[in-house]
């Protein structure tokens, strides 16, 4: 019989059952989720980011599409989506050029998973948003300018 966390809490006395199961490691974190490229998230320029990721001369591709507003009224919550139509997409990275730390997110995909991500980013000022895609061992990139009317980084 398979139970999820919610069913376990309903069946037992709530917090007591949850605490007991947590102490036994029932809700243990997946160690693979803790792996991330810290150096990539500390870069300050496109060139530095590409260097850290081991990328040289990514090809421009119309098969990588960034969806975001052309003008964002509030830079604190700018919706950004990236979709890759390139077969065997392994990774998508989203970068905001003029942010203090330009890497906004990096997503890895299992084989045959749909390569489509959505997130909200903070933008202190108008900037180019870049999407870097790794597919079948090759890198592709595209960019889109997003104008910000009210800065999100203290502005």
DSSP string across 99-130: SSS-EEEEEE--TT---EEEEEE--SSSEEEE
Based on the fold, state whether residues 43 and 107 are members of the same structural domain. Answer: yes
Based on the fold, state whether residues 24 and 88 are members of the same structural domain. Answer: no
Q: For residue 145, give Cα distances in angstroms to 67, 80, 126, 127, 128.
A: 11, 12, 8, 6, 4
Does residue 111 surpass a pLDDT of 90? no
Does residue 14 surpass a pLDDT of 60? no
Total domains, the chain:
2
Q: What is the largest CA-CA distance in the chain?
A: 58
CATH number at residue 40: 2.60.40.2470
Q: Is 119 contained in some domain?
A: yes
Based on the fold, state whether residues 42 and 84 are members of the same structural domain. Answer: yes
| Structural domain span for residue 18 | 1-29
pLDDT, position 150? 72
Neighbours of 120 (CB within 10 A): 13
Based on the fold, state whether residues 84 and 58 are members of the same structural domain. Answer: yes
Question: Tens digits of per-residue pLDDT, 36-83?
Answer: 778 888 889 999 999 999 998 999 999 999 999 999 988 999 999 999
> Which is it for strands 116-121 and 78-84: parallel, antiparallel or unpaired?
antiparallel
């Amino acid at each position: 019989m398979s139970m999820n966390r919610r069913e376990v809490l309903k069946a037992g006395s709530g917090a007591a059952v949850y605490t007991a199961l947590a102490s036994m490691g029932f809700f243990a974190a997946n160690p693979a989720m803790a792996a991330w490229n810290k150096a990539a998230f500390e870069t300050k320029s496109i060139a530095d980011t590409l260097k850290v990721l081991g990328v040289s001369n990514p090809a421009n591709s119309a098969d990588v599409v960034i969806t975001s507003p052309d003008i964002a009224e509030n830079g604190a919550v700018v919706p950004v989506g990236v979709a890759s139509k390139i077969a065997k997409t392994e990774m998508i990275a989203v970068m905001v050029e003029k942010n203090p730390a330009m890497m906004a997110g990096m997503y890895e995909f299992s084989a045959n998973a749909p390569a489509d991500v959505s997130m909200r980013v903070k933008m202190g000022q108008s900037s180019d948003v870049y999407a870097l895609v790794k597919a079948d061992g090759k890198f592709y990139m595209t960019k889109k300018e997003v104008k910000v009317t009210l800065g999100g980084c203290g502005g």
